[in-house]
């Protein structure tokens, strides 16, 4: 028998109860609407299969991915009709997959509408662009007769500035409601995570939280309701002692002011711990705070071990990674902090 495959000395601890509680909170805040779940980008970096299993158990019944390949990876976990693909059908192969499985396409253009009709149509979603100017059918195209011929489960739009007190929010809401009056559909959806906090007028029958499910806090109103889900950890490779005047890492951006015990951990920008954390990030062991020293490398980061004299090689340290705090400190968005965590983390 071959030896057991080694694991990476990085792990991403996921608080399953916090993920489920976040969905329940967002579902409750959605009022009479039901909360779906965006699980694209591999469940915002957590692992889509695990996230879908936990969210289904919590009561979620609708899931959104970006690509057809993402949908294919979930078909053995939940009913196909509970999955929709936001980017819609781009090829005949996409349409064949949708028709064969029952996964719903989200139609974004007249070209996609035509592609869907040529295959015989069927239940789909429709995305209307009300001001974000990304994907979505133009408001002027709603009168096209091919749109009236669609069998639409959910009529969507997407807010551009839900996390801000922006006038655009109300403009988009009014356009979305106008689209809902014009196009027959079963359900409507506008609100992402932050949009849920804008109130009932933005909810329709379905909300589409993503970031907040995974511990992100896009607006202050959601802060009391959202728990941290993700806790990245790295292993200590080596302890060493610096002398006064010794420098650390590439380009010598940190100089020891006095003798100093430091450690090298198995984490770097290849794992999504980017160079913006150089001389800025912190990690923890027990109650001790361990500052990042010098520049973050591809596979290694050096930390100050002065406050952790008992930490030995092979022990684990936890990154300070509360998403709103980490975003404010690093300049990265909460979305980037989640989705950049690399494949070498054992989830």
Please state whether the predicted TM-score (pTM) of the whole model is above 0.85. yes
Q: Residue 156 corresponds to which tokens in the numbers above? A: 């969507």
pLDDT of residue 7: 86
Contact between 110 and 137 (Cβ < 8 Å): yes
Domains 15-224 and 230-321 share a fold: no
199's CB contacts (< 8 A; 6+ apart) are none
Would you state the pLDDT for residue 121? 95
CA distance 276 to 238: 23
Q: How confident is the model at residue 26 (pLDDT cuts 50, 70, 90)?
A: very high
15-224 belongs to CATH 3.40.50.300: no
| Percent over 90 (pLDDT), the chain | 98
Q: At what angle do helices 48-58 and 16-29 cross, to 10 degrees?
A: 60
- Domain regions of the chain by residue span: 15-224, 230-321
Write out the catalytic residue numbers.
Answer: 40, 250
pLDDT in the model for residue 257: 98
Return the axis-axis angle of helices 92-101 and 110-118, rounded to nearest 10°.
60
Q: What is the pLDDT of residue 1?
A: 83
Per DSSP, what are the bridge partners of residue 303? 263, 292
Domain range 230-321, CATH architecture: Beta Barrel (2.40)
Q: Is 176 exposed, middle or buried (0-12, 13-18, 19+ CB in 10 A)?
A: buried
Q: How far is CA 165 from the centre of its chain?
A: 23
C-alpha 167/C-alpha 39 separation (Å) is 29
Closest CA relative to residue 198, chosen from 345, 67, 33, 63 = 33
């Amino acid at each position: 028998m071959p030896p057991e495959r080694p694991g990476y000395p990085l792990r991403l601890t996921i608080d399953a109860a916090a993920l489920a509680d976040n969905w329940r909170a967002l579902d409750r805040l959605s009022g009479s609407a039901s909360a779906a779940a965006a699980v694209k980008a591999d469940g915002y970096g957590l692992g889509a299969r695990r996230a879908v299993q936990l969210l289904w158990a919590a009561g979620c019944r609708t899931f959104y991915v970006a690509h057809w390949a993402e949908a294919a990876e979930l078909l053995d976990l939940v009913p196909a009709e509970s999955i929709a693909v936001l980017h819609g059908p781009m090829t005949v192969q996409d349409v064949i997959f949708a028709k064969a499985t029952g996964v719903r396409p989200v139609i974004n253009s007249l070209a996609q509408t035509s592609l869907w009709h040529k295959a015989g149509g069927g239940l789909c979603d429709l995305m209307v662009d009300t001001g974000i100017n990304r994907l979505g059918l133009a408001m002027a195209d709603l009168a096209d007769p091919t749109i009236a011929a669609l069998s639409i489960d959910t009529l969507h739009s997407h807010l551009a500035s839900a996390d801000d007190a922006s006038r655009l929010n109300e403009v988009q809401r009014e356009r979305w409601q106008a689209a809902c009056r014009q196009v027959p559909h079963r359900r409507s959806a506008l609100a992402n995570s932050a949009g849920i906090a804008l109130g009932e007028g933005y909810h329709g029958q379905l909300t589409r939280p993503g970031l907040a499910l995974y511990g992100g806090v896009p607006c202050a109103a959601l802060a009391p309701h959202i728990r941290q889900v993700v806790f990245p950890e790295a292993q200590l490779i080596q302890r060493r002692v610096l002398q006064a005047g010794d420098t650390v890492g590439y380009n010598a951006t940190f100089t020891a002011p006095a003798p100093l015990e430091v450690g090298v951990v198995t984490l770097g920008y290849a794992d999504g711990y980017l160079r913006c954390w150089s001389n800025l990030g912190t990690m923890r062991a027990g109650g001790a705070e361990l500052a990042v020293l010098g520049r973050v490398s591809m596979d290694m980061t050096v930390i100050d071990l002065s406050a952790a004299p008992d930490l030995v090689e092979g022990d684990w340290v936890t990154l300070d990674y509360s998403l709103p705090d980490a975003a404010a400190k690093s300049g990265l968005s909460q979305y980037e902090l989640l989705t950049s965590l690399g494949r070498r983390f054992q989830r």
